Amino acid sequence: MATFVFLHVGDDTDLPEILSRSIRAQNPNARIIQCTDSETPDVKGADEVSRHDGNPEMMMTFRLQAFSRLRLREPALYLDTDMICVAPIDPMDIIDGRDAAVCERSYERDELFRTDHPHPGLTKRGWTFSEYAGKKLFETFPYVACATITRDHGFWDDCLGILGGLDEKYHVWYGDQEAIRRVVESTSRQIGTIPEDRFGHLPGSPDPVSGAPVLLHFKGQERKQMMIELGRENGFL
């Protein structure tokens, strides 16, 4: 039985419902777990709900805490909610005995990283990421957090430990990617990669050369509307 995990906080459950039902359509025996806070409604399609008493405003910390404290001891695929599963996935087979498989960036690798950011939690405090001025996205965050496979909770324990020592701004934004990169660079764990163009394929982008996409990532507001329309067309809403 393949295990899938996602984090969702908030009353609008359309996207995670589409994700959950698309996973079930491709993986009928899947175990689907929703991580959330104490107030968010259960998402239709999830088998289990794990509620975490943390601060969702510090979303990066909340996310890593939720994944770590889930204490899973089996391989699982952790996903963003703005995704649709379009093929069967076996996390245990993909991880192949390693401790984790992180999603290596395929898109905008050579784009310059934006040191400012429109996220309200950052602009309100005047936080920037000037330490990455002049660097390309692949230099700063070579691994995206939309899809990560782990053998157990140990990888998330390591990421949470790293994030705990970072500046407060990383607890609001980019902290998961920063922690993942540092764990990959510094750990003795065996960590492989999965390509973003297959495990987080952006609709409208060229087809991946390494094989057909297994997960579509509806990043950006326009794509999220597309996801809702596709979800309705396929009976996921």
pLDDT digits (tens, 9 = 90+) for 58-100: 999 999 999 999 999 999 999 999 999 999 999 999 999 999 9
What are the boundaries of each domain within the chain? 3-106+142-233
In CATH, what number does 3-106+142-233 get? 3.90.550.10
Cα–Cα distance for residue pair 80/73, rounded to 1 Å: 21
With 0.85 as the threshold, say if the pTM is over it.
yes
Which of 70, 72, 21, 25 has the alpha carbon at shortest distance from 49? Answer: 70
Position 185: which residue type?
E
pLDDT, tens digit (0-9, with 9 covering 90-100), for 104-116: 999 999 999 988 7
Question: Which pair of tokens denotes residue 213?
Answer: 């996409």
pLDDT, tens digit (0-9, with 9 covering 90-100), for 199-237: 999 999 998 888 899 999 999 889 999 999 999 999 999
Long-range contacts of 42-47 (CB under 8 A, 24+ apart): 43/8, 43/13, 43/16, 43/17, 44/13, 44/17, 44/20, 45/16, 45/17, 45/19, 45/20, 45/21, 46/16, 46/20
Asked if residue 51 has pLDDT above 80, the reply is: yes
Q: What is the dihedral of CA 15, 224, 26, 108, to 10 degrees?
A: -130
